[in-house]
């Protein structure tokens, strides 16, 4: 079964912020050796989740992991993302879509914060 990944971010009117998410998706693909990775945006960026799923489905992907590029669980992840995934699942019934938790609670998050404090990067 061909798998794909979607990095799902909020989106911004500041296009360089959206481009940073696309660059992150490209780096994930490169470092992970993944052939099918897309960035997607809730609003203010392109593609949206439906567009990203359509692209991956068009590449023959049958299983998609959606990674919310959000720090904590909030309204967008509790309410909006499930609706978007349900709509995508209806549009592409042959594609299985599941999500991971947001970044909050990941054990390496404190390491990242420490790196910012100690090294300023």
Structural domains in the chain? 3-119 (3.40.50.1400)
Q: What digits encode the pLDDT tens for the residues 43-66?
A: 999 999 999 999 999 999 999 999
Token representation of residue 30: 């490169």
Q: Is 90 exposed, middle or buried (0-12, 13-18, 19+ CB in 10 A)?
A: exposed
Contact (CB, 8 A) for 40 and 47 = yes
Query: Could you tell me which of 95, 32, 99, 29 has the C-alpha nearest to residue 67?
Result: 99
Contact (CB, 8 A) for 42 and 7 = no
Q: Which pLDDT score, from 0 to 100, does residue 72 have?
A: 83
Predicted model pTM: 0.92
Q: Which pLDDT score, from 0 to 100, does residue 11 have?
A: 96
Per-residue pLDDT at 75 exceeds 90: no
């Amino acid at each position: 079964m061909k798998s794909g990944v979607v990095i799902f971010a909020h989106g911004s009117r500041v296009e360089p912020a959206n481009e940073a998410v696309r660059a992150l998706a490209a780096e994930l693909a490169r470092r992970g050796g993944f052939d099918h990775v897309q960035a997607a945006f809730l609003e203010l960026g392109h593609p949206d989740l439906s567009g990203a799923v359509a692209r991956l489905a068009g590449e023959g992907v049958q299983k998609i992991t959606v990674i919310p590029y959000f720090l904590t669980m909030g309204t967008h992840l509790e309410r909006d993302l499930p609706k978007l995934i349900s709509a995508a699942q209806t549009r592409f019934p042959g594609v299985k879509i599941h999500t991971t938790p947001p970044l909050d609670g990941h054990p390496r998050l404190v390491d990242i914060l420490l790196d910012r404090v100690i090294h300023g990067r």
